[in-house]
Amino acid sequence: MIWVIDASVAVRWFLEAESHPSADAVLERVMKQADSFAVPELFAFEVHAVLCRVHPHGAVVFEECVMPILEGGIYRQPMTLGLARRAAPFVNKGLTGYDACYAALAADLKGCWITFDGRAHQRIRTFTVSHSLLGGLPDGW
């Protein structure tokens, strides 16, 4: 199984007030099995933006902590015309263009998008490509 990590998961790794045991479990598994994870390239921009906005040392944390994780074997999907087109059904279900790219990547990889965005997960639940970590880790984790 390929797990597509949402930015909402990664920022919890570095923001004490937002920490969550499921996010910690994801990070632990990323460190052991990076090749079981993927992100659309926009993930890096989203995480960077949030950290720079809310963390007192956001740019440093991004450079020293996030970049080594991204460069450690996680598959990074660039934006392509194909991905944009495959994201359309998810946009039609009410996801933002950003979130639709995560869902489309999960669908492409026959994986699962893990997120703390419960509303987005509910909107596309019938596609079976997402899991809300608000309810805990996925079955079989």
Domains of the chain by start residue, with CATH: 3-135 (3.40.50.1010)
Strand 37-40: give its sheet, edge to edge: 75-77, 37-40, 3-5, 112-115, 130-132
Q: How many CB atoms lie within 10 A of CB 95?
A: 23
SS3 74: coil
pLDDT at residue 85 is higher than 90? yes
pLDDT at residue 103 is higher than 90? yes
pLDDT at residue 127 is higher than 90? yes
Mean pLDDT confidence for 71-92 = 98
What percentage of residues in the chain have a pLDDT greater than 70?
Answer: 100
Q: State residue 18's pLDDT score.
A: 94
**pTM of this prediction exceeds 0.95:** yes
Q: Give dist(CA 133, CA 15) in Å, integer.
A: 17
Q: Give dist(CA 94, CA 87) in Å, integer.
A: 11
Residue 130's pLDDT band (boundaries 50, 70, 90)? very high
pLDDT at residue 140 is higher than 90? no
- Residue pLDDT, tens place only, 62-77: 999 999 999 999 999 9
Residue 97's pLDDT band (boundaries 50, 70, 90)? very high
Q: State residue 53's pLDDT score.
A: 97
Contacts of 141 (CB under 8 A, 6+ apart): 25, 29
For all residues of the chain together, what is the average pLDDT?
97
Residue 137 has which token pair?
A: 């880790």
Residue 67 has which token pair?
A: 């970049």
Closest CA to 27 of 55, 19, 43, 1: 19
Tell me the backbone φ, ψ of residue 136, rounded to 5 degrees. Answer: 105, -175
